């Protein structure tokens, strides 16, 4: 690798390190209602109701990828003023590939969010109707620590083998 290649690589890494993503999970600041915050965000960012609903679905959304710090802070301030909670995180996207990436496939849903699909809910409800038959556990009991688990009456007697040891001697 030449000095020219090294400096180009360092510049690319430095440029990527100076980029940030703005992450939003649909959380709102305390003291605000969901509907009001959704409305203010929609007005502030000129969104239709379907886009605003998708934004507040509870899934993690990267609103902006690979932007500089002042841009990320400006967008964060607009969200904060509307009553929404978002985060600025270091970008993991290289500048040349950021347009080709889709939304993150995995995220954490806010507490209390229904994460089941409608079909899964129907299956779960049908399964709840058919209660499984559990075996009776009435014959089981707990014993104190150190108690022998097998009672003497449960162990068959051990018959001592009849061995002739007369031919053996100790010398």
Q: What is the total count of domains within the chain?
A: 1
Instruction: Kindly report the backbone phi and psi dihedral angles of residue 127, in degrees, each rounded to the nearest multiple of 5, phi listed first.
Output: -65, -35
Whether the per-residue pLDDT at 75 is higher than 70: the answer is yes
Q: Tell the residue number behind the tokens 């904060």, with chain if given.
A: 80
Q: Is there a domain that residue 15 lies in?
A: yes
Whether the per-residue pLDDT at 96 is higher than 50: the answer is no
Least confident of 20-34, 75-89, 124-138: 124-138
Whether the per-residue pLDDT at 162 is higher than 50: the answer is yes
Q: Is there a domain that residue 43 lies in?
A: yes
Whether the per-residue pLDDT at 99 is higher than 70: the answer is no
Q: Is there a domain that residue 27 lies in?
A: yes
Q: Is there a domain that residue 63 lies in?
A: yes
Q: Is there a domain that residue 85 lies in?
A: yes
27-55 pLDDT per residue, tens: 888 888 888 988 998 888 888 888 888 88
The residues near 23 (Cβ < 8 Å, ≥ 6 apart) are: 60, 61, 62, 63, 86, 87, 88, 89
Report the C-alpha gap between 72 and 75 in whole angstroms. Answer: 5
pLDDT of residue 140: 83
- CATH number of the domain within which 16 lies: 3.30.1390.10
Whether the per-residue pLDDT at 16 is higher than 70: the answer is no
Give the CA distances from residue 161 to residues 137, 157, 158, in Å, rounded to whole numbers and listed in that order: 40, 12, 9
Q: Is there a domain that residue 87 lies in?
A: yes
Q: Is there a domain that residue 132 lies in?
A: no
Q: Is there a domain that residue 21 lies in?
A: yes
Domain that holds residue 80: 8-94+108-125
């Amino acid at each position: 690798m030449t000095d020219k290649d090294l400096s180009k690589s360092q510049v690319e890494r430095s440029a990527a390190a100076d980029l940030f993503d703005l992450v939003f999970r649909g959380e709102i600041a305390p003291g605000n209602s969901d509907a009001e915050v959704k409305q203010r965000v929609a007005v502030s960012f000129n969104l239709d109701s379907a886009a605003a609903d998708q934004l507040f679905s509870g899934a993690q959304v990267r609103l902006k990828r690979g932007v500089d710090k002042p841009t990320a802070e400006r967008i964060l301030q607009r969200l904060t003023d509307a009553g929404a909670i978002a985060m600025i995180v270091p970008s993991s996207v290289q500048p040349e590939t950021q347009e080709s990436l889709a939304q993150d496939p995995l995220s954490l849903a806010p507490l209390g969010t229904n994460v089941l699909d409608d079909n899964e809910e129907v299956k779960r409800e049908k399964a709840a109707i058919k209660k499984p038959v559990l075996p009776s556990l009435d014959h089981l009991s707990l014993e104190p620590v150190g108690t022998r688990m097998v009672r003497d009456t449960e162990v068959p007697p051990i018959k001592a083998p009849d061995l002739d040891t007369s031919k053996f001697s100790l010398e």
